[in-house]
Amino acid sequence: MKIYLDIVFLLNFIIDFLILYGVKVVLKEKVKLIRILLGSLVGSLTLIMLFVKINSFVLILSKFIISLLIILVSFGKKHFFKNLAYFYLISIILGGSFYLLDITYEEGNLLVFKNNYLINFIILIFGSILIIFLFVRENIKYKEIFSNKYIVKIYLFKKMYELEGFIDTGNRLTDPYKKRAIILVNLKLKNKANYIYVPYKALNTSGVIPCLKPDKVIIDDKEFNNCLIGFSKEKFKLDGLSCILPNKFKEDL
């Protein structure tokens, strides 16, 4: 089996760079690009293991030490363990994805190519970009959802309803009468109440939302009174959430 060292070196360097850049974006690390490039260069030191006969324990230990150096060079000591954990996480996801697709196999602890090295090289690079991009995008989306997630206690008709709420920056709905912010909920009330009907206009749709004035609303021990509860007929797309908070609340939470 032929191993093209220049191709393997370039492949390792690019993949290490993509992984480190993924860590940088996910954790919002403010480091210069040159540090990421230097860290990728350190990662390519694994090529030395092609020419050194070592046992499995020393091999694993060497790889672990090199990974520590990669993180130190790329990000420094700040948030070291978090950066290291995400470096391993993205590496495992990337390696597992390619193992599942069975694009390549390993020999001598370095990636080599089955048939056409150029085709596999292109597939690996673009595949790595796609996999890391999807991971970063979903991770950021997940963090945004749960960083804006709150326990909401709504007091209405002498009852307390405890819901899981999410601040939606797109929810700028207010009633036209007193400009009160509206909390959208998925609740069905048996009480016959005098609703306040608030008109709304969204993309390609318009209508009215039945609303009620709550006794009070408590979010993270903060009380809100100048608001309305809007009853949505449609279920929210975010799993587990039964309440959408207005963007206006973001200033106070």
Which tens digits make up the pLDDT trace of 102-142?
544 444 433 444 555 667 677 778 888 898 999 988 888 77
Question: How confident is the model at residue 102, as a pLDDT?
Answer: 57
* Helix residue ranges per DSSP H, 27-149: 33-43, 56-75, 80-101, 117-147
Range of the domain at 198: 148-251
Amino acid 49 reads M
Structure tokens at 245: 């908070």
Beta-carbon count within 10 A of 171 CB: 19
On whether the CB atoms of residues 185 and 243 are closer than 8 A, the answer is: yes
Q: 210 and 170 in one domain? A: yes
Q: What is the CATH number of the domain that holds 189?
A: 2.40.70
Question: How confident is the model at residue 238, as a pLDDT?
Answer: 62
User: Is the overall model pTM greater than 0.75, yes or no?
Assistant: no
Q: 219 and 245 in one domain? A: yes
How many structural domains is the chain composed of? Answer: 2
In a structure prediction context, what are the per-residue pLDDT tens digits for the chain, which is 253 residues long?
A: 455 677 778 888 989 999 999 999 988 898 999 999 999 999 887 777 767 777 778 878 888 888 999 999 999 998 899 999 999 999 988 888 777 665 444 444 334 445 556 676 777 788 888 989 999 888 887 777 676 788 899 998 888 988 888 887 777 888 888 889 899 988 777 666 788 888 887 666 778 888 999 989 999 888 988 899 988 877 766 666 788 888 888 777 6
Which tens digits make up the pLDDT trace of 77-86?
988 999 999 9
Scan for tokens 């089996």, then name that residue.
Answer: 1
Q: 138 and 158 in one domain? A: no
Sign of torsion over alpha carbons 169, 173, 179, 181: negative
Structure tokens at 105: 């196999």
> Which residue, 107, 127, 145, sits at the end of a domain?
145
Question: 227: closest CA among 131, 162, 152?
Answer: 152
Structure tokens at 216: 């009070």
